[in-house]
């Protein structure tokens, strides 16, 4: 019977009662499997395997599959959105189901298969529509970094974005270390500030960005960045860079995401003083 259940789920973590019956699992077997926690009831006629990812189960309860930022998170992509609401793709003709604790965001798609995840091109289009250009850009650079987008997928993505958003495909890079780097570069571009990414400076090593000739911008968004050994290394790097005539500005997640005016003022004032130029 366990083999029949596996067949019914067919590599997914969600199945309908009709899938189970079709695979030869009878109503009686379904009851036994459910009582023995071999399958878990999601809603009327929909079952999950124990250990199914939570967004997949919530999406199935809602009537669809993870979409938008929820699908991006499942792929380990960086997302700007901080809420834990599940974004769900629901088929054009399918019903949205009310379920306990539902705070889902519904995205309509032509067709949806329970237990699957929204494809990456559609997912990125959803992120653009749902969270705007910034959200889209950080998730896009994260997908590029993970080499998840082939040239053909990028063409399809371009065709599905509004013309006003397509410039981001040309501006995006494959080497952004974190969404914070993407966000910093994106936001400073709006002020006409051009950053050179991932610059190797002799004696210092690779820095996140150089602005002009002499200003280093570092983004501390990586785990354990404030652990003592790393903190000491950063101070050493800054000291060596200063000895070579560079100035360094460092920003972290809280500053870039939640206190952008402070970051912008620091950068603009430093530029006004000409600190970034060789003199």
Q: Which part of the chain contacts Zn ion (CB under 5 A), choosing from 82-90, 139-147, 168-176, 224-232?
A: 82-90
Min separation Cβ 126 and Zn ion, Å: 5
Tokens representing residue 144 in the block: 């590029």
Min separation Cβ 57 and Zn ion, Å: 11
Q: Which part of the chain contacts Zn ion (CB under 5 A), choosing from 14-22, 96-104, 210-218, 237-245?
A: 96-104
What pairing do the DSSP bridges indicate for beta strands 215-220 and 247-252?
parallel
104 binds Zn ion (CB under 5 A): yes
Min separation Cβ 129 and Zn ion, Å: 7
For residues 208 and 210, what is the distance between their CA atoms, to the nearest angstrom? 7
130 binds Zn ion (CB under 5 A): yes
> Rounded to 5 degrees, what are φ and ψ at 66?
-55, 140
Min separation Cβ 119 and Zn ion, Å: 15
Min separation Cβ 118 and Zn ion, Å: 10
Nearer to Zn ion, 66 or 221 (CB): 66
Min separation Cβ 127 and Zn ion, Å: 7
For residues 89 and 118, what is the distance between their CA atoms, to the nearest angstrom? 7
The 10 Å Cβ neighbour count of residue 43 is 15
Residue 114, H or E segment: none
12 binds Zn ion (CB under 5 A): no
The 10 Å Cβ neighbour count of residue 122 is 19
What pairing do the DSSP bridges indicate for beta strands 65-66 and 87-91?
antiparallel
Distances (CA, A) of 84 to 63, 79, 246, 270: 18, 11, 41, 37
Min separation Cβ 69 and Zn ion, Å: 6
Nearer to Zn ion, 62 or 156 (CB): 62
Nearer to Zn ion, 69 or 215 (CB): 69
* Cβ contact 177:197 at 8 Å: no
- Strand segments, DSSP code E, in the chain are 14-16, 40-43, 46-48, 65-66, 87-91, 105-109, 195-201, 205-211, 215-220, 247-252
Across the beta sheet with 205-211, what order do the strands follow?
Answer: 195-201, 205-211, 215-220, 247-252
Among 102, 133, 199, 201, indicate the residue that binds Zn ion (CB under 5 A).
102
Query: With CB under 5 A, what is the number of residues at the site for Zn ion?
Result: 7
Contact positions with Zn ion (CB under 5 A) in 46-75: 62, 68
Q: Which part of the chain contacts Zn ion (CB under 5 A), choosing from 40-48, 126-134, 174-182, 248-256?
A: 126-134
237 binds Zn ion (CB under 5 A): no
Among 8, 19, 65, 87, indicate the residue that binds Zn ion (CB under 5 A).
87
Contact positions with Zn ion (CB under 5 A) in 238-257: none
Binding site for Zn ion (CB under 5 A): 62, 68, 87, 102, 104-105, 130
């Amino acid at each position: 019977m366990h083999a029949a259940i596996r067949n019914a789920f067919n590599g997914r973590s969600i199945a309908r009662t009709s899938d189970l019956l079709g695979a030869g699992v009878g109503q009686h077997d379904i009851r036994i499997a459910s009582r023995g926690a071999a399958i878990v009831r999601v809603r009327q006629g929909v079952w999950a395997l124990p250990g199914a990812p939570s967004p997949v189960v919530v999406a199935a309860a809602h009537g669809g599959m993870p979409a938008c930022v929820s699908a991006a998170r499942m792929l380990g992509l960086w997302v700007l959105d901080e809420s834990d609401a599940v974004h769900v793709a629901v088929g054009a003709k399918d019903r949205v189901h009310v379920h306990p604790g539902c705070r889902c965001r519904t995205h309509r798609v032509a067709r949806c298969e329970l237990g699957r995840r929204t494809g990456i091109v559609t997912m990125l289009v959803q992120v653009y529509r749902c969270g705007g250009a910034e959200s889209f850009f950080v998730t896009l650079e994260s997908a590029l970094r993970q080499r998840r987008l082939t040239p053909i997928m990028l063409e399809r993505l371009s065709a599905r974005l509004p013309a006003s958003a397509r410039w981001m495909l040309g501006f995006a890079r494959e080497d952004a270390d974190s969404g914070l780097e993407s966000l910093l570069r994106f936001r400073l571009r709006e002020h006409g500030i051009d950053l050179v990414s991932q610059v190797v400076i002799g004696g210092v090593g690779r820095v996140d960005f150089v602005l002009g000739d002499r200003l280093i911008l570092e983004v501390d968004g990586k785990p354990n960045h404030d652990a003592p050994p790393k903190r000491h290394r950063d101070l050493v790097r800054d000291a060596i860079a200063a000895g070579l005539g560079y100035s360094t500005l460092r920003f972290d997640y809280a500053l870039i995401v939640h206190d952008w005016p402070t970051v912008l003022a620091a950068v603009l004032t430093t530029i006004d003083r000409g600190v970034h130029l060789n003199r």
